[in-house]
Amino acid sequence: MVDSSIDSWEVVIGLEVHAQVQSRAKLFSGAATDFGAEPNCQVSLIDAGAPGMLPVINRHCVEQAIRTGIGLSAEINLFSVFDRKNYFYPDLPQGYQISQYTKPIVGYGSVQILLDDGEIRTVGITRLHLEQDAGKSLHDQHPTQSFVDLNRSGIALMEIVSEPDMRSSQEAGAYIRKIRSILRYLGTCDGNMQEGSLRADVNVSVRRPGGDYGVRCEIKNVNSIRFIQQAIDYEARRQIQLIESGNAVQQQTRLFDSATGSTREMRTKEEAHDYRYFPDPDLLPLELDPDWVEEIRLSLPELPDEKKERFVREFGLSDYDAGILVAERDTAEFYEMVASGRDPKLAANWVIGELFGNLNRNNVEISSSPVSANSLGKLIDLVVDNTISGRSAKEVFEVMFSSGRDPLEIVSELGLQQLTDLSDIESLVSDVLANQADKVLEYRAGKDKLFGFFVGQVMKASAGKANPKIVNEVLGRLLKG
Amino acid sequence: MALDIATVRRVAALCRIRVSDTDLSTMEAELNEILHWVEQLTELDTDDVLPMTRVVDVDLPMRDDVVSDGDCADKILVNAPASAQGFFSVPKVIE
């Protein structure tokens, strides 16, 4: 809820997420989908809208949509239809986008999002449909011309439409992160927002709590979570100010300007939104074999919610730690490798504390972590078997992170092995006690707090290498006399 | 269902077809004749009839996810009125 001068308002948010399907070839043509190719080099005559070309659907893209639908706990429609959405724009050579209108491939579903206060909220998914992406226009290359690259034209997109179930920009951010996480677990979209693989149209309206929905504005094509949140906050404030100053919100399509963090109205002709959908006569309805859908259902990986539950149940992790570890598939897999055959809580502490801390500070993705799961595991083993102290381990980790080297090698090079031999420690302790005979008398006379002093002396005598636990045990025994 | 002149003008504009005012009324009459002809179908009860999507029993053909096309920028651009650096070049459009 947004506080304002006169009253409090409720912000109502729905998102249309456009997720690029992970596939080698396009939805209806055999042209490649790789990001960053030379302009117009991944375009077939179908994608260019050449006359007489016929679309043939990519089976894998259909499978990806079904997989995503199942991952969103949604109904899979065994009968769906492709329609033409008609409009003119230079990056749409066909003059229409092949999409799905009244009969999408995936129907109603839902996802759970975790809010900052720990509350879990369900956000409804209205539908998911398959459609073609358009080409890309560059407006800043020439003073009077726009340049058009059709490489993206015809790439398969899944449009995932949410119910208007979100009430703040934070919830919208949590929703996008959850959708992205599910898509990545499923391997159906790489979720890369910088490259445009995941972008969202954001619908925002405001109302008095419990009242009727207000008039909404749609902010088009926002491509980062931070921008989505900024756009929502700006748009909510704008609408509240309009209403409170006695004006009405106009239903509009708006653009987000990341330079100013504001939204502005799109210069669009009023007729532009008459898309005159009709079934594409080039394509038969998409009819799915229920056995195929079942086969896909059975092949689904463990998804973040299930994995989190398992981490809590099997590994005894806290909800919070488990939530962090499962948010990304790569992270969860890394953690499981580290935890395998080891104390899972200790592994979680190392992964979340040292590793994530260093990755974040250096802006490195876990997939290119200089410390592999295997070597982090070895480092933990060195602590557990008392070869090195926990404090030295952190030092070794820093070296591992900057060099990618093996922990044992670093330990021997830096001479960090702990002294654990009982008789060696006993002789160290005896020497210390002999040198501090007066303090020993004070201790035995009841000055308990001198114990820490003796520990410090022994550690000093061992150049910090004595195992503190053994030192404590030996000191306790020898001080009794 | 019948179309009026304003609707005909609007549909023509949406389709980017330039129609002179004198041709609009001819077009209105012709389009309405077509619509009336199709409207005969409403005389039949089609409540329990599924829409027919094919005349022979075939399913939507599918292809494998294999790159088999593209890499022909010269062919793609050959009919473009203007191109530059491998792009189509069009009068500036910016929203």
**Is A30 in contact with B70 (Cβ distance < 8 A)?**
yes
In the prediction, which pLDDT does A272 show? 56
Whether A206 has a pLDDT exceeding 90, the answer reads yes
Mean pLDDT of chain A: 92
**Is A30 in contact with B69 (Cβ distance < 8 A)?**
yes
Whether A369 has a pLDDT exceeding 60, the answer reads yes
Nearest-10 Cα torsion for A332, A335, A336, A338: 160
Residues, chain A: 481
Q: Of B13, B69, B86, which is closest to A40 when you measure between CB atoms?
A: B86
Chain A residue with the nearest C-alpha to that of B89: A147
Q: Within an 8 Å CB–CB cutoff, is residue B85 touching chain A?
A: yes
Q: Within an 8 Å CB–CB cutoff, is residue B7 touching chain A?
A: no
Q: Within an 8 Å CB–CB cutoff, is residue B77 touching chain A?
A: yes
- State the pLDDT confidence band at A118, using cuts at 50, 70 and 90: confident
Which residues of chain B lie closer than 8 angstroms to A42, CB-CB? Answer: 70-71
State pLDDT tens for residues A379-416.
Answer: 999 999 888 888 889 999 999 999 999 998 998 888 88
- State the pLDDT confidence band at A63, using cuts at 50, 70 and 90: very high
Listing DSSP states for A97-149 in one string gives EEE--SS-SB--EEEEEE-TTS-EEEEEEEEEEEEE---EEE-SSSSSEEEEE
Q: Within an 8 Å CB–CB cutoff, is residue B74 touching chain A?
A: no
Q: Of B66, B86, B94, which is closest to A39 when you measure between CB atoms?
A: B86
State pLDDT tens for residues A122-156.
Answer: 999 999 999 999 999 999 989 999 999 999 999 99
In the prediction, which pLDDT does B53 show? 82
Q: Within an 8 Å CB–CB cutoff, is residue B19 touching chain A?
A: no
How much of chain A exceeds pLDDT 70, in percent? 97
Q: Within an 8 Å CB–CB cutoff, is residue A267 touching chain B?
A: yes
A22, A28, A43, A265: which to substitute to probe chain B, counting the most B Cβ within 10 Å?
A: A43
Which residues of chain A lie closer than 8 angstroms to B56, CB-CB? Answer: none
**Is A147 in contact with B75 (Cβ distance < 8 A)?**
no
| Angle (nearest 5°) at CA B33 between B27 and B37 | 150
Which residues of chain B lie closer than 8 angstroms to A279, CB-CB? Answer: 53
Q: Within an 8 Å CB–CB cutoff, is residue A88 touching chain B?
A: yes
Which residues of chain A lie closer than 8 angstroms to B76, CB-CB? Answer: 40, 43, 45, 48, 150
Higher pLDDT, A156 or A440: A156
Domain ranges of chain B: 5-41
Q: Of A48, A57, A89, which is closest to B62 when you measure between CB atoms?
A: A57
Q: Of A32, A139, A266, which is closest to B92 when you measure between CB atoms?
A: A139
State pLDDT tens for residues A319-357.
Answer: 989 999 999 999 999 999 999 999 999 999 999 999 999
Q: Provide mean pLDDT across the span A46-52.
A: 94
- State the pLDDT confidence band at A465, using cuts at 50, 70 and 90: confident
* Domains (range + CATH), chain A: 10-294 (no CATH), 302-414 (no CATH), 422-479 (1.10.10.410)
Which residues of chain B lie closer than 8 angstroms to A276, CB-CB? Answer: 14
**Is A90 in contact with B88 (Cβ distance < 8 A)?**
yes
Which residues of chain A lie closer than 8 angstroms to B61, CB-CB? Answer: 56-57
Extract the residue ranges of chain B whose pLDDT is less than 70.
Answer: 1, 95
Q: Within an 8 Å CB–CB cutoff, is residue A86 touching chain B?
A: yes
Whether A2 has a pLDDT exceeding 70, the answer reads no
Q: Provide mean pLDDT across the span A111-119.
A: 88
Q: Within an 8 Å CB–CB cutoff, is residue A39 touching chain B?
A: yes
Distance of CA A462 to the CA centre of its chain: 46
Give residue A340's identity as a one-letter amino acid code: S
C-alpha distances in Å from residue A382, one per residue of A145, A373, A376, A409, A456: 64, 14, 10, 12, 23
How much of chain A exceeds pLDDT 90, in percent? 76
ipTM of the complex model: 0.91
Q: Within an 8 Å CB–CB cutoff, is residue B44 touching chain A?
A: no
Looking at the complex, report in whole angstroms how far the Cα of residue B56 sits from the nearest Cα belonging to chain A: 11
Higher pLDDT, A480 or A244: A244
C-alpha distances in Å from residue A449, one per residue of A446, B27, B46: 9, 104, 96
In the prediction, which pLDDT does A6 show? 47
Q: Of A32, A43, A59, which is closest to B62 when you measure between CB atoms?
A: A59
What does the DSSP 8-state code read for residue B49?
-
Whether A27 has a pLDDT exceeding 50, the answer reads yes
The residue behind tokens 């982090």 is: A376
Can you tell me the distance from the alpha carbon of A185 to that of A71, in angstroms, rounded to the nearest whole number? 9
In the prediction, which pLDDT does A414 show? 84
Looking at the complex, report in whole angstroms how far the Cα of residue A214 sits from the nearest Cα belonging to chain B: 26
Can you tell me the distance from the alpha carbon of A70 to that of A78, in angstroms, rounded to the nearest whole number? 13
Q: Within an 8 Å CB–CB cutoff, is residue B35 touching chain A?
A: no
pTM of the model: 0.85
Chain A residue with the nearest C-alpha to that of B59: A284
Q: Of B59, B82, B89, which is closest to A284 when you measure between CB atoms?
A: B59
State pLDDT tens for residues A66-81.
Answer: 999 999 999 999 999 9
**Is B88 in contact with A59 (Cβ distance < 8 A)?**
no
In the prediction, which pLDDT does A286 show? 97
- State the pLDDT confidence band at A57, using cuts at 50, 70 and 90: very high
The answer to which of A183-197, A279-293, A442-456 has the lowest mean pLDDT is A442-456
In a 3-state reduction of DSSP, which class is residue A19? strand
Looking at the complex, report in whole angstroms how far the Cα of residue A227 sits from the nearest Cα belonging to chain B: 19
Higher pLDDT, A207 or A118: A207
Q: Within an 8 Å CB–CB cutoff, is residue B92 touching chain A?
A: yes
What residues have CB less than 8 Å from A399, skipping those under 6 apart? A405, A410, A414
In the prediction, which pLDDT does A135 show? 96
Q: Of A44, A59, A149, which is closest to B69 when you measure between CB atoms?
A: A44
State pLDDT tens for residues B53-64.
Answer: 888 888 999 999
Can you tell me the distance from the alpha carbon of B64 to that of B47, in angstroms, rounded to the nearest whole number? 38
